[in-house]
Structure formats: C-alpha cells, structure tokens
Chain A
Amino acid sequence: MTRSAISAHQLVKWFGEGDARTNAVKAASFEANFGEIFYLVGPSGSGKTTLLSMISGILKPESGNVTIDGTDIWALNKDELADFRLNRIGFVFQDYHLFPRLTTVENVAIPLILKQRDWDEAIYEALKYLEIVGLKDRAHLPPFKLSGGEQQRVAIARAIVSQPDILIFDEPTASLDGDTGKKIMSFIKDEILNENRCVLVVTHDSRIFEYADKIMKMEDGAVTAIENKSEVK
C-alpha cells in the first residue's frame, strides 16, 4: 500500500523581468511516495533545483501547489513553513554547508538546537546519528579535517537527526568519486530509507540511477518523463 509523501501540482516559476523573463519551471506535476527514492534528473538549467526549492518550501511558486503528507505547504505562513521544514524535511546540500568552526557533532546537532533542545541532550542525540553514519570517532573534529565522503555522511546525519519524513539530497555525488558515490547511495537506500520516509534526490550522475525507485526527467523547465524502477536503465 503506497502512501503519498509529496504531491506537486502544476508548479510554475518565472525568473527575471521584461525580455530577460524566463519560465524556469513549466507546470510541473508529480507524486512521490513514502518508502521511495525519487530522482529529479536533467541537464544544468533544466529547472530541477528550482523545482526542488518549491517542493521543499523555500521558493514560492507563481502558481500550483505542493502537498507534503497532506499539508499544503504554501498555505503556511513564513514561521509555520520554517517550523515545517525543521520538523519534516531534512536537507543535504551539494556543498554540505557544514560550519567549519563547529565540530562534526555540533554540526549534526544544529537542527535539534534550532528545535530548542537542551545543548547536552542535542549533542548526545547527534552522537547517536554520527554512529549510524559510522563517524562517531570523528565527532570532535572540525568538518574540514574529514574527507569528502565523510563530510557527506556528516551532512546526512545532520539531515536525519531530527527524524524528518522527507529527505532532500542536492547532487549528493557531485563531489565524490564513483565508488564513494555508490557507497553513499547504497547507505541511503539501506540505512536511511524506510516506509515512513521519502528521499528526493536531484542529480545528473547516471552512475547512481540504479538506486532510484522513480526518476523524473526534466528539460527546459518541463517534466519530460517519469519512469518507475522497472524502467530505469
């Protein structure tokens, strides 16, 4: 029995003014379910990052709506939306965006601290998630002393520490070599994904397509195809 995690309907986004006005996303619609790894793929400038931003509640669409687990996120006010992201969505950014002046475990604890959890409690919880991603022994190092793959795992730990049901990965393998990229994706599939979680991945790395349950292809702002696992090559 599939349960809808994300439902995007007729999302439209324009950028620029006058002659420079560009239709970045053209009436994009799709549905991703809990327990799925959903890929958004396409060449640079195809609109996948814009679409991802609208889905995750950080860029308001001109029209259309996004429903996450039954909540129309663009009907929420600014603070409610921030709280929604904090509680329901975990982000892994392309460049990880870890604070170099904080230790690894402090970086992981940030979402909990934003949720007003006690500092020691948040650090204790963050250590558990660092253990899950296999980096407990690096907990007190600054992120810049870790390899790219390790930083990626720290970013994953930060994304999952508040136990969100939607995980968003922006180009998760862009700065990793092929083997490390595959290890990360297999870790996400085996350890992070579960029936109450939906993983959304923006990528153009065809080497990791095998981990997808669904792939949505985009070109020039339009959705050109949505393929199920059986169709993925």
Chain B
Amino acid sequence: MKGILKIAFKLLVNDKGKFAALLMGITFAVFLMVMMTSIFSGVLRSASSVVINIGAKIWVMDPAVTTVANSIPMPDFVQDAVRSIDGVKFAVPLYSGAATLRLSNGVYQSVSILGLDDTSLLGRPELLQGNITDIFAENGFLVVKDSEINKLNDPHIGTTFELNEHRGVIVGIAKVTANGLFGMPTLYTTYNRAIQYIPNARFTTSYVLVEPKSPEAVQHIKDEVKKMGFIAVTNEEFRENISTYYKYKTGLGTNILIMTLISFIVGLSISGQTFYTFILENLDKFGALKAIGAKSRELIIMIVFQAGFTALTGYGLGVGLCTLMIGLAKIRLPNYASVVTFGNLGIAFIMVLIIAIFSSLIGVRKVLKIEPFDVFRG
C-alpha cells in the first residue's frame, strides 16, 4: 500500500502548477476562515475582559444584563442577602462603569473604572509598579498598562488627574490578562471611592462577586438568587452569555459566519475545480492502471490520499500564515483583537475535511466510471 501512496504523492506534487493552485486555494480559504473566526474570538475575549480579569467564581446581577459594559445597579441589600445563602463563603460588591477624566494638560479622556471591594480587593490586578495597599491612600487609583495607557499621557506613579472635581493620583501600574474592547484606559480603585467619585443613581452595586464554599453549592446559590429576582452565573456562563449576545444579537456573529462561509465556498470551488481538472487530465492513466490490474479501492485510496494530503498541507500553511499575520499585526497594534483558539482551528479543520471529501468524491466518481475498455477505444 505504501508504494501506491508514493505513486499518488508523486503524481500530485510533480504536477507543480496544479499542486500549487490546489495549495493556494486551500491555504487562502483556511487563512480567511481562521482569520475571521480569530477576530471574532478576539472580540469576544475583549468583551469579556472584565470577567476574565476579575476572575470571580460566581457573578450575581440583574437578569437584564447582557454584557459587562451594560451593568444594571442593584440595591445594596442584594449583597447582604447573598451573603446569607447557605454555601456562600463570601460575597463582595464590584463597581463597573465609565467616566471622563480631565488630564493635567486639560484634555478629557474616557476611562473604564472598576471599584474593588474595600476589605478584600477581590479581583485586584497584578502590579508592575507600586504597592497594592496604596490603593487605600487618598485619591488612589491603579492604572492598567495596556495599549490604551498612552491616552492618559504616559502616566506614572504620582500622576494626577481630575475626576468629577475630585483629585485622582496614580499609585500603581498594573497588568491584566485580557484587554478591553472599547479602546479606553482602565483604572482600578476601591468600591467606596468609585461610588463616591462617579455620579450614580440610587443603587450602586454593579455586581456581587461570590465565592462558593464548594462546587456543589453553586446550583443552590443560583436557585436562591433566582428567588430574589436576580441571577447568579458562573464565570464561564457569564462569558458564554456575553458571547451569545455578540453572536446572535448584534449581527456581528452573522457577518463573521457569512464571511467564513464565503471563504469556505471559495476554497471549496478552487480546490474542487482544480482537483477535478487534475483527475480529468490523468483519467486515461487511471483507466490504464485499471486495465493493468489496479483494483477500484486502490484507486480510491490514491485519490483520497491526494485530496487529504493537499487539504492537510493547505490547512497547515493557512494556519501558519494566519498566525504570522496576527503576530505581525500585534507588533504594530498591541491591542489587536484576534485570538487563534482550538475552536477556530477545529472549525477550519472540519471545513477543510469537507473540502477534501468533496474533492475526493468528484475525483473518485470520475475514476470509478472510467472503464479500461475506454482506454483501448481511445
């Protein structure tokens, strides 16, 4: 069998023009499919950045919340009520909102502000400079060092700004796992300072962050919170809810899906057509092989191998090209929202397999139809 595969391999790669066209078609299709889905994954990851960075196990919120950005403040009693549920180890408030700073040069800049629980600082970021306890200092804020930090005029420890006629001072430079989606710098402060500095409605708690005593307690906590008219979701569920919102309620998912399908169809058309031409050109030779004594299953194996080899090589090249492009883009644009995930690779792989199966089928169909007698007849 190895010999037959070697013949199939040589027939394929020695036809350099067609092999190159096949590879280009599949590589380009994979590149587009992975790129599209990676951009989408990047957007989804950025949209969930607060959830990822804070990292709380359970989030309690208003049922109407669709993304972190549109949090709906809850009454203060919710936090106390959650704390009293069996199975809750602790529950703390989180403030999440946006504000406009006035920088020292007089320029206004929108920022995202997270107010951490004053006693536990649950969800605090890792500090690159400064000391976490300085967040309790007068007017203390931490700034996240990401691609947006320069919008605050290259801040450092001691940099001051104005927030709703309150003075703010940078007391630490932090780093986080995921960058935000909306291109705004992120500041961390304490919960009480956040609700004091930023104008609010009567209710101030954006989320209640819960640590369950055990994994088994999660469902009970969810049920109890539901009875209160709110919802409790795990970190993964919250991210999934945000993802679902962007996928199905913003049109973004549909657009990406359409572009991915178009890439798939382009790849399918190019490789299907080229592979069909390749088979047609060798059809008489396959007929001759049949006459000599090759069995149909051996010819099928040859064709499936050729289609599979081309598809997998094109897949590898496409993924490589995509990774290279994303890497290069991130050098220039550090906040470039594109992430290659196993899910993206899996989707592209399945689509490439479909391309390979389709190409094989049209080739196999043609080769099975050719009769050795046709070779004699010319």
Residue of B nearest to A96 (CB): B288
Residue of A nearest to B288 (CB): A97
Interfacial residues, chain A to chain B (CB-CB below 8 A): 49-50, 52-53, 56, 58-59, 78-79, 82-87, 89, 91, 93-95, 97-99, 101-102, 106, 110-111, 113-114, 116-119, 122, 158, 170
CB A175 to nearest CB in B, in angstroms, measures 12
Instruction: Say yes or no: is B199 at the interface (Cβ < 8 Å to chain A).
Output: no
CB A150 to nearest CB in B, in angstroms, measures 18
Grouping DSSP codes into helix (H, G, I), strand (E, B) and loop, the A interface class, with mixed when no group exceeds half, is: helix
Number of A-B contacts (CB under 8 A): 90
CB A143 to nearest CB in B, in angstroms, measures 11
Residue of A nearest to B298 (CB): A114
A91 in contact with B373 given A101-B14, A113-B3 (CB within 8 Å):
no
The answer to whether A86 and B3 touch across the interface, beta carbons within 8 angstroms, is no
**Bound CA span A95–B275, Å:** 24
The answer to whether A97 and B293 touch across the interface, beta carbons within 8 angstroms, is no
Q: Which of chain B's residues 1-29 have a Cβ closer than 8 Å to chain A?
A: 1-4, 6-7, 10-11, 14-15
Question: Chain B: interface residue count, which band?
Answer: 20 to 34
The answer to whether B378 and A86 touch across the interface, beta carbons within 8 angstroms, is no
**Bound CA span A93–B372, Å:** 11
Instruction: Say yes or no: is B226 at the interface (Cβ < 8 Å to chain A).
Output: no
The answer to whether A53 and B292 touch across the interface, beta carbons within 8 angstroms, is no
**Bound CA span A102–B3, Å:** 13
**Which residues of A have CB within 8 Å of B14?**
101-102
User: Which of B10, B14, B291 is the most central at the interface, judged by chain A CB atoms within 10 Å of its CB?
Assistant: B291
Residue of A nearest to B287 (CB): A97
Instruction: Say yes or no: is B126 at the interface (Cβ < 8 Å to chain A).
Output: no
Instruction: Say yes or no: is B167 at the interface (Cβ < 8 Å to chain A).
Output: no
The answer to whether A91 and B291 touch across the interface, beta carbons within 8 angstroms, is yes
Other CB < 8 Å A-B pairs besides A53-B372, A95-B378, A97-B288, 12 of them?
A: A50-B373, A53-B373, A53-B376, A85-B291, A86-B294, A91-B292, A93-B288, A99-B11, A111-B293, A114-B298, A119-B3, A158-B292
A114 in contact with B4 given A94-B378, A99-B282 (CB within 8 Å):
yes
The answer to whether A79 and B285 touch across the interface, beta carbons within 8 angstroms, is no
The answer to whether B7 and A86 touch across the interface, beta carbons within 8 angstroms, is no
CB B282 to nearest CB in A, in angstroms, measures 7
